[in-house]
Amino acid sequence: MKTKARGGLNAAEPSESNPVFPIETVRAAFPALNRAPQFTFFDNAAGAQVPQVVLDAVNHHLLECNVQRGGRYRKSLEVDETIARARQSVADLVNARHANGIAFGMNATSFIRLMSLAIGRTLGKRDQIVVTDMDHEANIATWMDLEKSGAKIVWWKVRGDGNLYVEDLIPLISSATRLVACTLTSNAIGSIVDVAAAAKIAHAHGAEVFLDSVHYGPHGLIDVQAFDCDYLVCSGYKIFAPHMGFLWGRRELLEKLPTFREDFIPDEPPGKIEAGTFIYENVAGMDAAVSYLETLGKSMAVYRDTRQALEDRRGALERAFKAIRSYEEMLSLEMFSALRDCDATIYGKANENGIRERVPTLCFNLPNISPSKVTEELAKRNIGVRDGHMYSPRLMRRLGLLAESGAVRASLVHYNSIAEIHEFGRALAEIRKSC
């Protein structure tokens, strides 16, 4: 289905290098969307749906090799192979040089905790940690806890337009900075941060950079080399995989970090940051989620020969995210239009000029109707969105909102459609009239 933003909005015209986004094919790949076609799911920032290939991979794992790794028998060897393959897939997804820099675990929060405990043991004269007031609390409070071990917290603050600017970071960094902990994208208002510029400043002073890519992951191409970060954390369940998380770190830094580990666990990455057994079936699902994105990229490509199509996985991922970004810009523009029609206040980047600096995650409020009432009314109409502070209470206060009630968040990904936005707009208009 060819979708075009209404109202003369300037979404890029499809061309050979920017083909029409195959929304119907994409939606057909996600069985949950088709089981409940009357339900509009705009709560993707809390966790996305999974494609059939992910379901198949999880099923296959549980049916064929639901055993412990490290044995000499076939099923156990197959588990080892799945984990190794998934590590390489995630390394390709984030553009890591070494698959052994990828660790698997429960979720992003527990990895941030693990890393903060290790980094907290290395503070010395470099005892300052820069955090932002735009991040999810997982990437703020966890670092703040290090104040108990002598860390000094320095705040990089969001500007009125809802983004972080590197000019504001410069005066905060010195030879006392140990780490800059920052998100790639706000899970509340969707702003994308120029993390490569932040890393340049941090590294010039010998500090390290810890990136939270949880919210950016489903929307844009992660590239640890281009971001020039030192550590990066992500949740698989936000990027079309089951519930699990992963961490990437520069190998030489992971090797040195005094992580908490038991004596029986190897003192090298990734083992030293993966204490114990993780959920192998979900790691198999993560591997399949990367394949899904790769296949999407290949379907968008005009490959000259099959060999290139078979070999160039990172190229396919780049193409997938180029297409996703472009399609999602159109979704954001359409959301602006639907929300403006209802006189909603949109927080953060709210017009076409800032479209490249955001993803289609929008926090808004309707005049004189509480956020909880709006989500309740939308729920009655089979539309799933969320209200509250989105685990970013500091950002809510910065935006002039009460952290307790916050705002309504509609968070879309590439399987959402313009038709769903129209449905959402109609529902909002009704609510505005009747409440």
Ligand X SMILES: Cc1ncc(COP(=O)(O)O)c(C=O)c1O
CB-wise, 109 or 177, nearer to ligand X?
Answer: 109
Residue at 190: amino acid letter: G
Largest CA distance in the chain: 67
Q: How far apart are CA 166 and CA 133, in angstroms?
A: 14
Instruction: Select from 209-217, 312-320, 337-345, 374-382 the region that touches ligand X (CB under 6 A).
Output: 209-217
Subset of 124-163 contacting ligand X (CB under 6 A) = 136, 138-139
Instruction: Select from 107-115, 166-174, 249-257, 401-409 the region that touches ligand X (CB under 6 A).
Output: 107-115
Is 187 a binder of ligand X (CB under 6 A)?
A: yes
CB-wise, 108 or 195, nearer to ligand X?
Answer: 108
356: β partners: none
Indicate the angle between helix axes 280-300 and 313-341, nearest 10 degrees.
Answer: 80
**Site of tokens 């079309």:** 240
Give, as one character, the DSSP assignment of residue 176: T
Is 386 a binder of ligand X (CB under 6 A)?
A: no
Is 109 a binder of ligand X (CB under 6 A)?
A: yes
Q: How far apart are CA 31 and CA 55, in angstroms?
A: 9
Contact mark string toward ligand X, 402..421, x via CB under 6 A: --------------------
Instruction: Select from 212-220, 247-255, 266-274, 296-304 the region that touches ligand X (CB under 6 A).
Output: 212-220
Q: How far is the CB of 156 from ligand X (least distance, A)?
A: 16
Q: How far is the CB of 392 from ligand X (least distance, A)?
A: 8
Give, as one character, the DSSP assignment of residue 21: P
The strand order across the sheet containing 177-183 reads 102-105, 245-249, 231-235, 208-212, 177-183, 128-132, 152-156
First-to-last C-alpha distance (Å) of the chain: 35
Contact mark string toward ligand X, 52..91, x via CB under 6 A: ----------------------------------------
Q: How far is the CB of 234 from ligand X (least distance, A)?
A: 8
Of positions 91, 119, 212, 282, contacts ligand X by CB under 6 A: 212
**Site of tokens 């281009």:** 226
Of positions 57, 108, 331, 431, contacts ligand X by CB under 6 A: 108
**Site of tokens 């002039």:** 400
Is 235 a binder of ligand X (CB under 6 A)?
A: yes
Residues 6+ apart with CB under 8 A from 94: 102, 213, 222, 223, 224, 232, 234, 248
Residues that bind ligand X (CB under 6 A): 107-109, 136, 138-139, 183, 187, 212, 214-215, 235, 245
